[in-house]
Amino acid sequence: MQRYKNEKELFNQNPIASQKEIIHEICFCFLVAKRNTDKEQAAWLIYKLNPKYKEYINKWCIDLDDKYEKLVSNRIKKRNEMNRLSQKRRHQKHEDFSLTNEQWEETCESFNYCCAYCRGEEKLTYDHFIPFSKGGSFGKDNIVPCCTTCNSSKNNKDFITWYPKQIFYDMEQEQKILNFFKYA
Ligand SMILES: [Zn+2]
């Protein structure tokens, strides 16, 4: 499946396509996707569409709603649970700057000395999984190795909304990161 970061990019890549054509393309991607990650990404795009496009979707793929709502509701459930846990941690750990060199080394090893997000092997920097500006600590339960490109792209965004929009999005890696922080 062709990976689009978001609806805007989709329109930009195909400026002469009508809205109907674009929606049709996403629905098609959803219906033919063999891998769950591709299905989920298409479902997510459909979910994020402006409500006015949903009329078209209903005309073309009448039973689509059921299929993607299940996928999307899982993602929302996951996000809500993460928000709850991260809020809890925010309160507990705001003053934590405790990451030791040893812990950093162990963390890098857990991610095979690659960027936790794109798995590139560039120079690794510290990424606050929960952004520092949102109360994330500099402790071992909030730091992952991250390349400079991902670090500046993620910036102060939430992982769960930022990561699925990336071209290198991978559901297994997402799960691995969530497991690493014991969110899942
Ligand atoms: Zn990266």
Q: Which domain holds residue 58?
A: 7-62
Distance of CA 147 to the CA centre of its chain: 16
């459909």: which residue's tokens? 46
| 41 CA distance to ligand 1 middle (Å) | 20
| 123 CA distance to ligand 1 middle (Å) | 9
Asked if residues 123 and 172 have their Cβ atoms less than 8 Å apart, the reply is: no
DSSP line for the chain: ----SSHHHHHHHSTTS-HHHHHHHHHHHHHH--SHHHHHHHHHHHHHS-HHHHHHHHHH-TTHHHHHHHHHHHHHHHHHHHHHHHHHHHHHHTT-----HHHHHHHHHHTTTS-TTT---S-EEEEESS-GGGT--SSTTTEEEEEHHHHHHHTTS-HHHHGGGSTT--HHHHHHHHHHTT--
| 2 CA distance to ligand 1 middle (Å) | 20
This prediction's pTM:
0.58
Residue 12: inside a domain: yes
Q: Are residues 46 and 110 in the same domain?
A: no
| 86 CA distance to ligand 1 middle (Å) | 22
Residue 88: inside a domain: no
Residue 68: inside a domain: no
Give the mean model confidence (pLDDT) for residues 139-156: 94
pLDDT band for 81, please (50, 70, 90 cuts): confident
pLDDT in tens, 35-69: 777 777 776 776 676 666 666 666 655 455 566 66
| 111 CA distance to ligand 1 middle (Å) | 12
Residue 135: inside a domain: yes
| 34 CA distance to ligand 1 middle (Å) | 26
Domain total of the chain: 2
